[in-house]
Structure 1
Amino acid sequence: MIQRLAGKIILLWGWKRIALAFLMGALASFALPPYDFFAVCFISFPVLVWLIDGAVDNAGAGPIRRLLPAAMIGWWFGFGYFVFGLWWLGNALMVDAVNFAWAIPLAVLGLPAVLAIFYAFAAALARLFWSEGLGRILSLSFAFGVTEWLRSFVLTGFPWNAIGYAAMPVPVLMQSSVIVGLLGMNALAVLVFSLPSLLAGKRDLKTGFVVALVLVCAHVGYGFYRLHTANLVAKGPNVRIVQPSIAQDLKFDAEARRDILDKYLALSAEAPRSGAPKPQIIVWPETAVPYILTKTPDALQAIGDTLTDGQVLLAGAIRMEEPGIGQMPLYYNTIYAINDAGEITAAADKLHLVPFGEYLPLENILRSLGLSEVVEMPGGFTPAVTRRSMQVTSNFTALPLICYEAIFPAELGYQGASADAIINVTNDAWYGDTPGPYQHFRQAQLRAVEQGLPLVRAANNGLSAVVDPYGRIIDALALDAVGVIDATLPGKVQLPLSEHLRRLQFLIVLGALFVAVIAYFSRDRRRIG
């Protein structure tokens, strides 16, 4: 039965092939949060393999023309995956619909169309080394590993919804990321998801079954082992996360500023729940402060009056840097540390800004066409020079991540060695009650596991949470809830690999796959010869 089904898929032609590729990509998106139905990938990727099996052109065509049918299948698969996985981006443009509603098709269809080019490249690269049986599956997993790596930095990078997340929906399945990293998991996930395609034939079926069994058992078994041997001791400070759920349109209302600040202050001043210790550190979300603090001493004084002795506030705000003569001021998306005297003691600026959201690429050209960034500041936001840790108190150092900086594991480097926790502040109210906030939270959750650090995540409307270094949620607030989280942070954990090996983990996975791909490809060439 499976063999007949595979044969029909391989022989599909025209719009039916295109439609099936699009539908399989769309189906794969349901493996992502908030659905986490990863079993669909065991359907979508085998069908993708069979579609690429049938993506052939005449033998006399040039190399580009020979790879074009496979690239088109990959593009339509990617287009379906990203349209259904990222449709919620259009919600951000509805906040200021008068100015940005026209751009909704670009966000909902245009960005997926661009991102799908990466998957077109993956299918073409896989087809270049295509062979029979297990060889073609190894080729596809290697190609997706390369492609997802490219997607993490090309054009500033946008590795949102990388395939590897589908294989890590719960903490027990997140632990492998400390061994192979997200980039390695991307390749291995595609390998396992694609293996059922071997059921359509007899070649390499037993070998494929053994490969699947080993990888799945190692993935699940290591997760259970690591969580079973976890020995967390509460060593960090007591923290409070404030989630006010301020409507996004109110944040642009100058008359609402004082009410917004008062809401933050009231939640910060609430007495701890019965039995909970007094928080030492209070965390507000991204751009929570509705003022330029260095220009508004009254706001700083109100914060200082609210904090009790020894408390420190970490608050997202916009920082303005005074201009030189004849120059415009510079604006930064910042986390401030403010003490109980209302004094700013430390600051960390956002390094990786959102294209079109916080700045305009090719600014001179696009502004001349009347375009602007969604969060409009004079000249746009300015990025930080470098990422650095933040000394919050004498015995607590934070690794600050603002908004979607949490989706770039490679950019975190290995600063976790000098930090005690990740502080991730964000404002996902732009996206409303859609999959976006859930996807964003999952990616931040994985950064805690990879760095071996607890995560404190403050989001304006959720999902706010305290997560331990194994990715387990200690406490959280639901989307659109109003309230606070009081928790004692656990200490960080020792990672199983040295810093040197962690730098090589992706190359080791990719190198092993490439050797296997070449071995199978050479085997088939010898048989043909």
Structure 2
Amino acid sequence: MWDRLLGHLAARRGWRALVTAAGLGALAALALPPVHAVPVLLVAIPGLLVMLGAAPTGRAAFWVGFAWGWGHFAAGLYWITHAILVEAERFWWLVPIAAPALALPLALFVAGPAALAWRVRAGWPRVLVFAGAWVGFELLRGWVFTGFPWNLLGTVWAFGALPVQAAAWVGVHGLSLVTLLVMATPLLGRRAMLGGAAALAGFAAFGLVRLWPEEPAPRPVGLLIVQGNVAQELKWREEQRIPVLRRYIEGTREAALAALRDLPEDYGLVVIWPETAVPFLLADDPEVRRLVAGALPQRAMLLSGSVRAEFGAQGRAQRVFNSLVAIDPAGEVRGVADKVTLVPFGEYMPLSGLLPIRIVQGGMDFSSGGERRPVRAGWVPPFGALICYEVIFPGRVTPAERPDWLVNVTNDAWFGISAGPWQHLAAARLRAIEEGLPLARAAQTGVSAVFDARGREVARTGLGETGVLMAPLPAAREPTPFARFGLPIGGILAVLALASGWWAGRKTNRQP
């Protein structure tokens, strides 16, 4: 049956080959969060490689890879449509094309490896070239056009802490490389499949060894994450501004008092509100800060997402920032972090003035915060602030001066009840493991969570729920190899795989 399936795939030509490849790519998306149906890759990856081998020319192989990538990203990023539906009356025409259109440039990052793999002979050489080139293009995807490293292939294993512990050494890109090599083994015979199974068993054993030791005692800090569950279409309406503020204040007041009663007397409490939690300029509005401070006990500190503005001489805003603001019980601002990596089209318009439409809300683009620095807010252990999708960038989440923990505030209300928030959560888990730092995540509609420095889930709220999450702040661990050396680890592994496959597979007369 397996040979018959491969033969059927190899026989596809023309538009039928492209449709079939797109279907295989969409099938591979089921391996991503939240489904994590990883075994589908045992069909999707070999199927793609067989179709590449059967392609008559390098150009045909390129388009087969492009179709596979388009199907994969269109299916994996379908939830982008939810953001369009928030303002369907303005952007209704984007609803059917948003995800397919975004998948078009992303498909190039599969087409490139496909074209390179076609040029070497079948077997291990083609698998190595394809896997190495895939990881190289994954790394490139994190930088081109400001970068969009969402749904890197290694995230398929992020359904738990154990399968992804190797990310501490090789990063998510190293996991992507191993995933491709293992999933291609059905093309390489029984011994290769046994080797792939042994590799997965080795990774599991490595995970057990890392997770076996008892965790260090937590820091003398309690965390209280408030998940307001405010629908995006309501959040910025004028008549909803006070109700939204009241929801967060009231949700914090009783929960903070209860949390401090349960904590030792020498513990402090860090309250975390999500990205742009309340529709006010918190850092610039003393009256709103006074109301917020009324919900904070004396041993508490609030970290809240908020829009921040810089005003000119005429009292007009000259620049606006997507920020995280620390507020103490006296209503004073104790620290600010501005978002560094902005979302194209969501927070600023690329090629400003050249596009005929404006998707960014409001009359101004957001400004970047510049260099990433640890935030120091009174007695709170210094932390790295990651606002929204900044957490998806491996190797770029910590400042040069290593913080004690990471805080990720986000507003996934844009994406409704979909796969988007779960994919975002998986990226956050991987960053904790790669950096060896605990991570607290506050999401407007969920999923909010706390991970320890090994990526184990300490606590979590549900998606689309209103509530609070209470947990101790886990201790930081020693810097991991990935924290020390970063993305070059994945780059070196990619080059080694590609070069060895190219050297072994080069020949004058290419055979499928």
State the TM bucket, normalised to the shorter chain.
over 0.9
Where does residue 138 of structure 2 map in the other structure?
A: 148
Matching of residues 427-446 of structure 1 within 5 Å? 427-446=411-430
CA contact (8 A) 1:332 1:381 kept: yes
Q: Does the 8 Å CA contact 1:167/1:189 hold for their aligned counterparts?
A: no
Q: Structure 2 residue aligned with 1:357, among 340, 343, 346? A: 346
**Alignment equivalent of 1:135, drawn from 102, 125, 139:** 125
Give the aligned partner of residue 465 of structure 2. Answer: 481
Q: 2:340 and 2:130 mapped to 1: Cα distance?
A: 34
2:376 to 382, 391, 394: 391
Q: 1:245 to 1:94 in 2, by over 3 A?
A: same
Is 1:382 the counterpart of 2:382 in the alignment?
Answer: no
Give the C-alpha shift of residue 357 in structure 1. Answer: 0.6
1:50 deviation in Å? 0.6
Give the equivalent residue in structure 2 for 1:289: 278
Measure how far apart 1:413 and its partner are: 4.8
Match of 1:506 among 490, 506, 511: 490
Does the alignment pair 1:340 with 2:316? no
Q: Which residue number in structure 2 is paired with residue 23 of structure 1? A: 23
Structure 2: distance between partners of 1:498 and 1:453: 12
Q: Deviations over 1:31-54 (max 9, x none)?
A: 111111111111100101111011
**TM-aligned CA deviation for residue 507 of structure 1:** 3.0
What is the rounded CA distance, in whole Å, between the counterparts of 1:455 and 1:294 in structure 2?
24
Q: Which deviates more, 98-107 or 481-490?
A: 98-107
Q: What is the letter of the counterpart of residue 386 of structure 1? A: E
Measured against aligned partners, the alpha-carbon deviations of 1:80-104 in whole angstroms (never above 9, x if no partner) come to 1111111110111111111122222
Q: Distance in 2 between matches of 1:331 and 1:414?
A: 22
The answer on whether the counterparts of 2:270 and 2:380 sit within 8 Å (CA) in structure 1 is: no
Alpha-carbon contact 2:334-2:378 (below 8 Å) kept: no
- C-alpha distance in 2, partners of 1:296/1:4? 68
Q: 1:305 to 1:153 in 2, by over 3 A?
A: same
Q: Distance in 1 between matches of 2:198 and 2:479?
A: 23
**Would you say the 8 A contact 1:331–1:377 is kept in 2?**
no
Q: For residue 519 of structure 1, report the CA deviation from its aligned partner.
A: 3.4
Task: Give distance in 2, aligned partners of 1:449 and 1:414.
Answer: 16
Q: Does the 8 Å contact 2:36/2:156 carry over to 1?
A: yes
Question: Is the 8 Å Cα contact of residues 461 and 480 (structure 1) preserved in structure 2?
Answer: yes
CA contact (8 A) 1:51 1:73 kept: yes
Matching of residues 73-112 of structure 1 within 5 Å? 73-112=64-103
1:95-131 Cα deviation digits (max 9, x unpaired): 1111122222342210011211211112112223x21
Return the alpha-carbon distance in structure 2 between the equivalents of residues 453 and 144 of structure 1.
28
Q: Distance in 2 between matches of 1:236 and 1:360?
A: 43
Asked whether the 8 Å contact 2:272–2:304 carries over to 1, the reply is: yes
Does the aligned pair in 2 maintain the 1:414–1:451 contact within 8 Å?
A: no
CA distance in 2, matches of 1:124, 1:303: 57
Contact 1:279 1:486 in 2 (8 A): no
Matching residue's letter, 2:95: I
Q: What TM-score comes out, normalization by structure 2 length? A: 0.94
Measure, in 2, the Cα distance between the counterparts of 1:503 and 1:7.
Answer: 38
Residue 279 of structure 1 and its aligned partner are, at CA, apart by: 5.7
Q: 1:239 corresponds to which letter in structure 2?
A: L
Residue 34 of structure 2 aligns to a residue in which SS? coil
Match of 1:242 in 2: 226
Q: 1:127-166: CA deviations, max 9, x gaps?
A: 23x2122111111111111111111111111111111111
Alignment of 1:99-248 (within 5 A): 99-128=90-119, 130-199=120-189, 206=191, 208-209=192-193, 211-248=195-232
Number of equivalences: 506
> What do the CA deviations read for 1:323-349 (whole angstroms, capped 9, x no partner)?
357985211000000111101111000
For the 8 Å contact 2:277–2:444, the answer to whether it is kept is yes
Q: How does 1:312-327 map to 2 (within 5 A)?
A: 312-323=301-312
Residue of structure 2 equivalent to 1:4? 4
* 1:56 aligned partner: 56
* TM-align CA RMSD: 2.2
- Give the secondary structure class of the aligned counterpart of 1:418: coil
Q: Is the 8 A contact 2:36 2:157 kept in 1?
A: no
* Range that drifts further, 189-198 or 21-30: 189-198
TM-score by length of 1: 0.91
Among 448, 451, 458, which residue is 2:442 paired with? Answer: 458
Higher relative contact order (CA 8 A, sep 6+): 2
Structure 1 504/113 Cα, relative in aligned 2: closer, same or farther at 3 Å?
closer
Tell me if structure 1 keeps the 8 A contact 2:117–2:130.
yes
Contact 1:349–1:383 (CA under 8 A) maintained in structure 2: yes
d(CA) in 2 for partners of 1:437, 1:171? 18
Range that drifts further, 323-332 or 103-112: 323-332
| Cα distance change of structure 1 residues 526 and 319 upon mapping to structure 2, 3 Å threshold | same
Whichever residue aligns with residue 94 of structure 1, its letter is L
Partner of 1:409: 394
Question: Taking structure 1 as reference, are residues 159 and 496 closer, same or farther at Cα in structure 2, changes over 3 Å only?
Answer: closer
Conservation of the 8 A alpha-carbon contact between 2:131 and 2:498: no
Answer whether contact 2:132 2:498 (CA < 8 A) is retained.
Answer: yes
The answer to whether residue 54 in structure 2 is matched with residue 69 in structure 1 is: no
| Pair 274,286 (structure 1): closer, same or farther in 2 beyond 3 Å | closer
Q: Aligned equivalents of 2:483 and 2:444: distance in 1?
A: 34
Provide the rounded CA distance (Å) in 2 between the counterparts of 1:500 and 1:441: 24
Secondary structure at the counterpart of residue 362 of structure 1: coil
Q: Does 1:260 align with 2:244?
A: yes
Q: Which segment is superposed worse, 307-316 or 329-338?
A: 307-316
Aligned sequence identity (%): 33
CA contact 1:179–1:502 (8 Å) conserved in 2: no
Is the alpha carbon distance of 1:113 and 1:256 closer, same or farther for their aligned partners in structure 2, counting shifts above 3 Å? Answer: same
In 2, Cα distance between the equivalents of 1:390 and 1:162? 28
d(CA) in 2 for partners of 1:333, 1:37: 36
* One-letter amino acid matched to 1:508: I
Structure 1 range deviating more: 342-351 or 7-16: 7-16
Q: Equivalents in 1 of 2:446, 2:81: separation in Å?
A: 19
SS in 2 for 1:122: helix
Q: Distance in 1 between matches of 2:220 and 2:424?
A: 25
